[in-house]
Amino acid sequence: MLSKPNFPALELKNFHFQWPGQQAFSLDIPAVSLAVGQHLFIRGASGSGKTTLLNLLCGIHRLTKGEIHIGGHLLQPQSGAKRDAIRARNIGVVFQQLNLISYLSVLDNVLLAGEFAGNKLPDAKARAQSLLTALGMSETLWQKQAQQLSVGQQQRVAIARALLNEPALLIADEPTSALDADNRDAFIRLLLSEADRCGTTVIFVSHDAQLADYFAAVLRMENLAAGVVLSNPLSNPQTNPQTETTGEQAPC
Amino acid sequence: MLIRLARQSLWNRRGTALMTLLSLVISIALLLGIDHLRLEAKRSFTSTVSGTDLIVGARSGQLNLLLYSVFRLGSATNNISWQHYQQISKHPQVKWSIPLALGDSHRGFRVIGTNDDYFRFFRYGQQQQLDFAQGQAFAEVYQTVLGAAVADKLGYQLGEQIILSHGVGAVSFSQHKDQPFTVVGILAPTGTPVDQSVHVSLAGIEAIHRGWQGGAPVLGRQPKLHAEQLAALQPTVITGFMLGLKSKVATFALQRQINEFKAEPLTAILPGAALAELWQMLSMVENLLLLVTLLVLIAALIGMMTTLLAAMKERQREMAILRAVGARPWQLFWLIELEVLCLTVLSIGGALLTLTAGLWLAQPLLSSQYGLVISIWPWHSHTGIVLSALTGVSLVLGAIPSYLTYRQSVAQGLVIKL
C-alpha cells in the first residue's frame, strides 16, 4: 500500500473500443482515474457491453484505441503475453459463480493466483491462509475440494484468490447474483473491507441498482454503449472509504 | 505447476481417463507384443542351426533342402549314396560332418538317423551344443535318443520301448513293429526342431528297412537279424548331411564343387542365406500383422483425442478461471498436451508391465507347446525409437484439442455463457 500510492489504481485515457467490422456498438471513455481504494460500481443490464468492458479491463481483448493503466502499469496497448502477465500480478477477478477449479483444494485454488503471477511471494501460503481466515474460512475447510463448498463459501474463497497478489484492482462480475439478499449484503461488506485492508480498488459490475449504495463512484453502461462521452463518472456524492488508515492492519 | 494441474485434472476425470488409458495400454501392448514375438521368432528361427557351413542333399531348391533337413518339414526329393557322402566328408577342407537319414516317424515326430557326430558337432543358437537331460547317446542299433518335446509330450522315460513308423504322417499303416527301440537318452530343451525329433543310429535305420523294397515291406522277407549281422550293418543311402569347414573362406569354393559333383546330382546350401530367404517369405504375414496393430493403435489415439475434445465443453469454466488468474493461452495449450503426455507415458508403462507379465505367464506354455523360447522383457534396440515416435504422434494428435482450447481461451475471454 505504501509501495503504490503515487499511481492511480485504474487510469483510462481516450478509451475506445469497437468490434472489428462492426459499427453499431462502441465503448468510449475519454478519461477516468480511480485513486487507490476508490471503488467503482458499473451498472448495466445484460447486453449492455459489460462483458466486453470487463474483458478489456482485464486485458483479454485488445483495446481499439487509447490506454489503460493498472496501478501504474501500462495494460493496453500491450502484447497479449504482457497483458496476461500484468493481469496475473495486478488484477484479481471474481466471477458470478463457479469461481473455483472444482478438483483443487480450497488452499490450492487460492494459491493458483500466486503460481501464474510469476513473482512468487515466499509467504504466499501463509498469506493465503490468513486471507482465508479473515474471510471466515476455518482451517478445517482448507483441504476440502472446492466442489464440496457452498456457493457463499466458494465466493469467499474467490475473494481470497483475487486478493492474494495484493493487486491494484479487483474486478467482480455480478459476484452476488447467486446469493440471497442477506448473504449478498454480507458478501459485499466483506469484499470491500478486505479490499480496503489490502489497498485494492474494487470494480464491481452488476445490474442491481441497490448495490450502488456501497460505492462512491458509479458508472452506467448505457452511457458508454450509446457512445456518449462521459468525462466524470464519479458521480456518487458519498465519501470515499478511508484509504489512509488501511495500511496499519497488517496481515493482508 | 502445470504438471500438477494436469495430473489433478486427469484424476478428476479418472473414469474416462481410465478407459482411454486402458484402450491405449491394450493397443500399445499389442504393438510391442507383436513386434517382440516377431523378433523373438526370428531369433529363435535363425538360431535353429549355427556353426554349420553347408547343408548338402539331393538336387533340389534351397528352401526345400533347408525345410526337410533343419525344420523337419516336407520330404527329400531323393537319397544320396553313402559312398559319395564318405567321399565329400573326406575333403581336406571339411572339419566335421553329420549324416542325416530321414523318412521315418514316431507318432508324428520325425525320426533322424545319424551318428555320434550329431551330438558332438551340431550347434544351435549361439554355438550351443546339445546337452543330455537324461541318459546318453545311442551305442547300439536299437537305441534311441529323444528330443525334449517328444519325451515331454508322449511322457517317455529312459528304458521305454518305442516303435517307429514308415513315412512321416502322424498315423502310419506300416510300422516297424518287430523292431522296437529303447530310449537311452533324452536331450535338454533347445527351442529348435531338435526338440521334436527322435534320433536313432544310421544302422538302426538300415536295420528296420532291411528286406524292404520300394518303400514297403516285402511279405515274409523280414528276417530277424543276428548280433553279428547287426554289428556289420552299414548304411547304403542317407538323405543329406551337414558340413563344418576348417575355414569359412572355403565355403563358396566347396559349395560350387558339390553343386558340380559329377557322380551324383547334389545341392549344397548356406544355411544362413537360406534361412534369410525363408524368413523373407514369412515376413509378409508378419508385416501385415504389424500394420493391423498399428491401425488399432491409431484408433486408440483417436479415441483419446475424442475424449479430450468431448471434455472441452465442460472445461470452459476451468479454462476461464485459469485465464483470469493470468494463465497465458499457450499455457492452456500445454496443459492439455501435458495430459496427453501423462496418458501416453502411463499407457506405455502399463503396456510394458502387462506384456512382461503376460510373457512371464505364457513362457512355459510357449516353450513346451511350440518350442518357442521367448525372453520375458519385450525391449529391443528400436523399441525406444518406436515408443518415442508413438509419444510424438499422440502429442501431435493431442495438439488438436489443445489448439482448440487455446483458440477458445483467446476468443472467449473470461465470461462463459452457460
> Which chain A residues are within 8 Å of B327, Cβ to Cβ?
84, 88, 116
Total length of chain A? 252
Among candidates A175, A163, A131, which has minimal Cα distance to A41? A175
DSSP B263: S
Between strands A65-70 and B143-146, the pairing is unpaired
Q: Is the ipTM of this complex over 0.85?
A: no
Among candidates A159, A187, A190, A169, which has minimal Cα distance to A95? A159
Between strands B143-146 and B132-135, the pairing is unpaired
Q: Report pLDDT for A249.
A: 43
Q: Report pLDDT for A2.
A: 46
Grid cell listed for A104:
483443487
Provide the residue type at B55 as one letter. I
Residue B240 phi, psi (nearest 5):
-175, 180
Helices B2-12 and B14-46: crossing angle in degrees, nearest 10, is 100
CB contact under 8 A, A103 and B329: no
Question: How close, in Å, is residue A238 to chain B by CA atoms?
Answer: 30
Q: Report pLDDT for B297.
A: 87
The helix (H) or strand (E) run that includes residue B104 is strand B94-106
In order, the DSSP letters of chain A are --SS-SS-SEEEEEEEEE-TT--S-EEEEEEEEE-TT--EEEE--TTSSHHHHHHHHTTSSPPSEEEEEETTEEEES--HHHHHHHHHHHEEEE-SS--S-TTSBHHHHHHHHHHHHSS--TTHHHHHHHHHHHTT--GGGTTSBGGGS-HHHHHHHHHHHHHTT--SEEEEESTTTTS-HHHHHHHHHHHHHHHHHHTPEEEEEES-GGGGGG-SEEEEHHHHHTT---S--B---SPPP-SGGGGG----
In order, the DSSP letters of B199-257 are EEEHHHHHHHTTTEETTEEPTT--PPPPHHHHHT----EESEEEEEES-GGGHHHHHHH
Residue B249 touches partner A, C-beta closer than 8 Å: no
CB contact under 8 A, B325 and A113: yes
> Which chain B residues are within 8 Å of A60, Cβ to Cβ?
323, 413-414
Residue B410, classed as helix, strand or coil, is helix
Among candidates A53, A149, A54, A82, which has minimal Cα distance to A109? A149
Interface test with A, best of B322, B325, B331 (most A CBs within 10 A): B325
Comparing CB atoms, the residue among B8, B317, B413 nearest residue A60 is: B413
Residue A83 touches partner B, C-beta closer than 8 Å: no
Q: Report pLDDT for B90.
A: 92
Residue A1 touches partner B, C-beta closer than 8 Å: no
Residue that is written with C-alpha cell 441498482 in the block: A209
> Which chain B residues are within 8 Å of A103, Cβ to Cβ?
8-9, 11-12
DSSP B55: E
DSSP B381: T
> Which chain B residues are within 8 Å of A80, Cβ to Cβ?
328-329, 410
CB contact under 8 A, B415 and A103: no
- Each of the 418 residues of chain B gets a pLDDT tens digit; together they read 788 888 888 888 889 899 989 999 999 998 898 888 888 888 877 788 888 999 999 998 888 898 888 888 888 888 999 999 999 999 999 999 999 999 888 888 899 999 999 999 999 888 888 999 999 999 888 999 999 989 988 999 999 999 888 877 666 667 777 788 999 999 998 878 888 899 999 988 888 887 666 566 665 555 566 666 776 778 888 999 999 999 989 999 999 999 998 889 999 999 988 888 888 888 888 888 889 888 988 888 898 888 888 888 888 888 888 888 888 888 889 999 999 999 999 999 999 999 999 999 988 787 666 666 778 888 888 889 989 999 999 999 999 999 988 888 777 767 665 4
Q: Report pLDDT for B212.
A: 64
Q: Closest-CA residue in chain A for B326?
A: A88
Interface test with B, best of A17, A52, A55, A84 (most B CBs within 10 A): A84
CB contact under 8 A, B320 and A80: no
Residue B414 touches partner A, C-beta closer than 8 Å: yes
CB contact under 8 A, A113 and B326: yes
Residue A143 phi, psi (nearest 5):
-90, 0
CB A53 within 8 A of CB A40: no
CB A58 within 8 A of CB A171: yes
Cβ burial, residue A160 (10 Å; 0-12/13-18/19+): buried
Grid cell listed for B8:
489433478
Residue B325 touches partner A, C-beta closer than 8 Å: yes
* Residue B101, Ramachandran bin (φ over 0: left; ψ between -120 and 50: alpha; else beta): beta
Residue B413 touches partner A, C-beta closer than 8 Å: yes
pTM of the model: 0.73
Total length of chain B? 418
Interface test with B, best of A63, A101, A120 (most B CBs within 10 A): A101
- 10-residue block means of pLDDT along chain A (252 residues)? 64 83 78 83 80 85 87 85 86 83 89 78 82 87 87 88 88 84 86 88 87 84 57 44 40 55
Grid cell listed for A151:
456457493
CB B414 within 8 A of CB A55: yes
Q: Report pLDDT for A244.
A: 39
Q: Report pLDDT for A250.
A: 42
CB contact under 8 A, B322 and A60: no
Q: Closest-CA residue in chain B for A105?
A: B8
- Opening angle at CA A226, ends B320 and A228, nearest 5: 115
Range list of β-strands (E), B128-187: 128-129, 132-135, 143-146, 161-162, 165-166, 181-187
Non-local (6+) Cβ contacts of B341 within 8 A are: B391, B394, B395, B398
Q: Report pLDDT for B87.
A: 92
Q: Domain segments of chain A: what residues?
A: 10-226
> Which chain B residues are within 8 Å of A113, Cβ to Cβ?
325-326
> B-contacting residues of A 91-150, CB under 8 Å?
93, 95-96, 98-104, 112-113, 115-117
Q: Do you find a cis peptide bond into A77, omega within 30 degrees of 0?
A: yes
Residue B415 touches partner A, C-beta closer than 8 Å: yes
Q: Report pLDDT for A9.
A: 84
Residue A5 touches partner B, C-beta closer than 8 Å: no
Q: Report pLDDT for B38.
A: 82
- Half-sphere exposure of residue A12: CA atoms within 13 angstroms, side-chain side: 23
CB B49 within 8 A of CB B271: yes
Residue B337, classed as helix, strand or coil, is helix
CATH architecture of A10-226: 3-Layer(aba) Sandwich (3.40)
Question: How close, in Å, is residue A244 to chain B by CA atoms?
Answer: 28
CB B273 within 8 A of CB B255: no
Q: Report pLDDT for B347.
A: 94
DSSP B1: -
Which residue(s) pair with B165 in the sheet? B105, B175
CB contact under 8 A, A161 and B413: no
CB contact under 8 A, A93 and B331: no
Q: Report pLDDT for A240.
A: 43
Comparing CB atoms, the residue among B8, B11, B414 nearest residue A58 is: B414
Q: Closest-CA residue in chain A for B5?
A: A104
Q: Report pLDDT for B172.
A: 63
How far CA B310 is from CA of A88, A145, B333, B342, B412, in Å, comes to 29, 24, 16, 18, 18
